[in-house]
Amino acid sequence: MINFETSPEQYKHWKLKFEGAVATLTMDVQEDVTLAEGYKLKLNSYDLGVDIELADVVQRLRFEHPEVKAVVVTSLKPRIFCAGANIYMLSTSSHAFKVNFCKFTNETRCSIEDDSLHSGRRYIAALNGTASGGGYELAIACDEIYLVDDGNSAISLPEVPLLGVLPGTGGLTRLVDKRKVRRDRADVFSTLAEGLKGKRAKEWGLIDDYFPTSKFQESIDARVSKIANANGHNDPSGGIKLNPLQKEIKPAGVEYKYVNLILNRERRYADLTVTAPEAGVPTTPAEIQELGDSYWPLQAYRELDDALLHLRVNEPEIGLVCVRTVGDSANVLAVDKTLDANKDNWLVREILLYMARVLRRFDLTAKSFFAIVEPGSCFAGNLLELLLASDRSYMLNDPDAGQASVSVSTLNANALPMSNGLTRLQSRFLANAEKVDQVLAHDGSFNAEEADEAGLITFVPDELDWEDEIRVAIEERTSLSPDALTGMEASLRFGGPETMDTKIYGRLTAWQNWIFQRPNAVGPEGALTNYGKPTLAHFDFKRT
């Protein structure tokens, strides 16, 4: 079982140090410390374990070190920054693991960009050696890229010419969308296995500058000092510590304080229940800071995040997740009111941004999600987003049993955007934009009939049909092809405008998912299978 939790004292592959407003993150991958057997992480190549640590670094920078304004990402290995994802790890992994690995690394790099965009922290890639494949993709997720000019170091995306696959972490999209590299130059670069060195890389916009070895560190220090001394909205006050989650792993699930995951493996579905906060939630930033990571929205969403990652990687045969909530909706709405009223506070801002990232991970998870609304549910405010993010929702219409209800808050208006830049309400009502305002203006909660009329619920069975309808829905969904469902859901979840994020994830799902199964990549004579062997790849050259 893969555990996605770690902490600085457990890092094996990264070193993190702080000097005032500057953090230096140094990659020093230990080649024998791998998540599986059969490969070595040479030349700062990485597997999922390396990226789990990187994701933790970014998260801790945001919550534990709000004073940091600049992060220098570099390498401890001489003449090598990062060789990218370990090829032997990829060639020996299952298809599902390869895709989930790429998805997690994408989410980690998007979290770097989210930090830069919303929290003003600038990431500087100081390439003290060659950056190839995923190594350059890590660099291109940063705000600025500087390459050492030592006559040998280069940047490259060699996946197409060497492996018969694609860069799996958004590199192609970032070339033309983020760095706005000309298409013809991007085409040449992406088919040139040896890559480009300093002068041409800068000329083509692939890096920001290059410096000779003798002046490289001095030039990086000067640039970082300028950033650190510039005005920004990073808060100099102390951060909060992110402690390990308290969870109990059971044979049939994982139990946290506010999240409970029950696995029905024989029926290929899971029940995921989120519990509302208790009464007496804090109302001021000082009280929130004092609670730290035990403040309900931060703790509950950290638990939800961990549960989603567990489902993705450790429970591949679970195809459907039934999402439930329990507790007092008033307490959820009280939390939302406090978050909205204090959103300019650095910690509240980071909590809201984190909630949004977890919900986007929910959107991007290759499982079916059904929201189940019953009496005692609390799909209100931020927890209503779980319902809106689900592929379907079922709400019991039984006034005699205690009316089930759902509620909106101001957070549903704009605080928790999807990858397409829209709220889930906006995405839901693309054809009727006026409905968004009507839902947000609704006075009080929605009962089943009102929620159905407002377009918030898919089905509202009465008490006579409820149990049978839920049972049949679960059985029907889990009987369908998981591959077809993954493609269908990914195609349906992101209506509306295209963004760099939706392009990255859409292309990952549609193309990398497909190419990773093609014989030209992973067949007996495929390029990925034969990489590093004396045998050569042989392609079926028919275009499909």
Average pLDDT over residues 201-229: 96
Please give, one letter per residue, the 3-state secondary structure of 221-289: HHHHHHHHHCCCCCCCCCCCCCCCCCCEEECCEEECCCEEEEEEHHHCEEEEEEECCCCCCCCCHHHHH
pLDDT exceeds 60 at position 428: yes
pLDDT exceeds 60 at position 234: no
Average pLDDT over residues 486-496: 89
Residue closest to 145 by CA, chosen among 77, 93, 81: 81
If you search the block for the tokens 């919303």, which residue do you land on?
118
Q: At what angle do helices 296-314 and 95-119 cross, to 10 degrees?
A: 150
Average pLDDT over residues 41-63: 97
Rounded distance between C-alpha atoms, residue 235 and residue 217, angstroms: 27
Q: How big is the chain by its Cα radius of gyration, in Å?
A: 24
Report CA-CA distances (Å) from 33 to 39, 105, 177, 543. 10, 18, 35, 40
- Identify whether the C-beta of residue 490 lies closer than 8 Å to the C-beta of residue 510: yes
Average pLDDT over residues 172-193: 97
Average pLDDT over residues 200-227: 97
When mean pLDDT is compared across 93-107, 184-198, 286-300, 393-407, the lowest value belongs to 393-407
Rounded distance between C-alpha atoms, residue 305 and residue 528, angstroms: 32
**What does the buried/exposed string (b/e) look like for 84-105 if buried means 16 or more CB atoms within 10 Å of the residue's CB?**
bbbbbbbbebeebbbbbbbbbb
Q: How many CB atoms lie within 10 A of CB 364?
A: 24
- Confidence band of 364 (pLDDT split at 50, 70, 90): very high
Express each pLDDT in 237-259 by its tens digit.
689 999 999 999 999 999 999 99
Average pLDDT over residues 142-157: 97
Rounded distance between C-alpha atoms, residue 229 and residue 382, angstroms: 37
The per-residue pLDDT for 231 is: 59
Q: Residue 187: phi, psi to the nearest 5?
A: -60, -45
pTM of the full structure: 0.95
- Confidence band of 295 (pLDDT split at 50, 70, 90): very high
Burial class (CB in 10 A: 0-12, 13-18, 19+), 83: buried
If you search the block for the tokens 């992994």, which residue do you land on?
93
Torsion sign (Cα): 67, 71, 72, 73: positive
How far is it between the farthest Cα atoms of the chain? 79
pLDDT exceeds 90 at position 116: yes
If you search the block for the tokens 């050569």, which residue do you land on?
536
| 259-264 sheet: strands from edge to edge | 248-250, 253-255, 259-264, 269-275, 320-326, 368-373, 392-395
The per-residue pLDDT for 84 is: 96
Q: Which CATH architecture has domain 10-229?
A: Alpha-Beta Complex (3.90)
- Confidence band of 300 (pLDDT split at 50, 70, 90): very high
- Distance from the Cα of residue 49 to its chain's centroid: 15
What is the homologous superfamily of the domain 248-487 according to CATH?
2-enoyl-CoA Hydratase; Chain A, domain 1 (3.90.226.10)
Rounded distance between C-alpha atoms, residue 261 and residue 264, angstroms: 10
- Identify whether the C-beta of residue 52 lies closer than 8 Å to the C-beta of residue 4: yes
Structure tokens given for 398: 């039984």
Express each pLDDT in 477-486 by its tens digit.
999 999 889 8
Average pLDDT over residues 113-125: 96
Sequence ranges of the domains in the chain: 10-229, 248-487
Quick check: do 10-229 and 248-487 share a fold?
Answer: yes
Q: Amino acid letter at 454?
A: A
The per-residue pLDDT for 233 is: 56
Residue closest to 453 by CA, chosen among 395, 380, 370, 384: 395
- Confidence band of 515 (pLDDT split at 50, 70, 90): confident
Average pLDDT over residues 144-158: 97
The per-residue pLDDT for 232 is: 59
- Identify whether the C-beta of residue 371 lies closer than 8 Å to the C-beta of residue 387: yes
Report CA-CA distances (Å) from 297 to 205, 259, 408, 444. 41, 12, 16, 22
Rounded distance between C-alpha atoms, residue 124 and residue 44, angstroms: 18
